[in-house]
Amino acid sequence: MVHFRVVIYLLLLTLVLSCVDHREDRGGRGEAMTERVNYDSIVSRASIVDPDLVNDLETNSVLLEDGTKQIRYSMYEMNYLPAKDFLFRENIYRQDGSLLMSYCAIFDVPVGAMCTYDERGALLQREEWNDGYKGCKVNPSMLVAFLEKEGWYNRSTGESAVGDIDSLGLNGNFTYNVFNHVIVDFFPPSDLQDYPVWVVLLPEINRVPKVFAEKYLRNDAKTGEGNASGLCNVTYVIDAKSGRYNVRWEHGHVR
């Protein structure tokens, strides 16, 4: 997923800096976001699999006993953990099947540490990602809780308002579906803005969540069950320091 970050960065940067006339703008103060995800026991769980499977040129998708959805390619594997953990973990291997690198992410945002190993499996380097979110009121785990409170997914029931399926249970299929239909990126302070910013884009919406409709769409002519309003491209721009945010959306193609 790391190799897609440049494309996503350019896309989201355009959304932050531009305003399309047919979008509706709403702003407000972020809700009290205090929930945290326990990453400590997850970041270090490097999954060593059979080298013959790792180097198989065929793509293999399996559901592991712990509920993780694992997708294997020739030199790396992607692991989508169950809803209770709500993390993506990627392991990258050498040609001999030994583990080279592992890291975790929420959506496409790195969390925890990126670890590099030698051929015998000994840790060579550990680079902490969480330092980049220090001083932020809205860190990755709080962002996860905020989007859930907005009604886009439910980690307790497996329901999702994004993607193609309403409910997927609580295993890695749920995490896979949500992560692949929500684009998230974090922008540290720069010449473009003085404060850190989260940008969230939901381009494919299965249905309009009741919470979202009641909060933002009260004046819209068509809401209700399903995606009757043709809602798409919902975008949140969040000040990571204060928690204040703006949300925009389009009324476009109904899926």
- Whole-number pLDDT of residue 252: 62
Q: 149 pLDDT exceeds 50?
A: yes
Residues 147 and 234 in one domain: yes
- What range does the domain containing 91 cover? 40-131
For the ranges 8-12, 230-234, 246-250, the one whose mean pLDDT is highest: 246-250
> Could you tell me which residues are beta bridge partners of residue 246?
27, 237
Token digits for 115? 């670890």
The pLDDT confidence band at residue 35, using thresholds 50, 70 and 90, is very low
Neighbouring CB atoms inside 10 A of 231's CB total: 27
Task: Indicate if the pLDDT at residue 248 is higher than 50.
Answer: yes
Examine the domain organization and report whether 57 and 74 are in the same domain. yes
Residues 174 and 163 placed together within one structural domain of the fold = yes
Among 116, 131, 146, the domain boundary falls at 131
Asked whether residue 213 falls in the same domain as residue 195, the answer is: yes
Question: Total domain count for the chain?
Answer: 2
**pLDDT of res. 57:** 41
pLDDT in tens, 176-221: 999 989 999 888 888 777 888 899 999 888 889 999 999 998 766 4
Q: How far from 144 is each of 155, 195, 255, CA to CA, in Å?
A: 10, 20, 25
**Phi-psi domain of 73 (left: phi exceeds 0; alpha: psi -120 through 50; beta: other):** beta
More confident residue, 55 or 21: 55
Question: Poorest-confidence range of 41-50, 71-80, 104-113, 233-242?
Answer: 41-50
Same domain, 70 and 98: yes
Q: How does pLDDT run across 76-135, given as a tens digit for each residue?
A: 899 999 999 999 999 999 888 899 999 999 998 888 889 999 998 899 999 888 777 888
Of 120 and 12, the one with more pLDDT: 120
Domain end, chosen from 82, 109, 131, is at 131
**Is residue 182 within 8 Å of 86, Cβ to Cβ?**
no
pTM of the full predicted structure?
Answer: 0.75
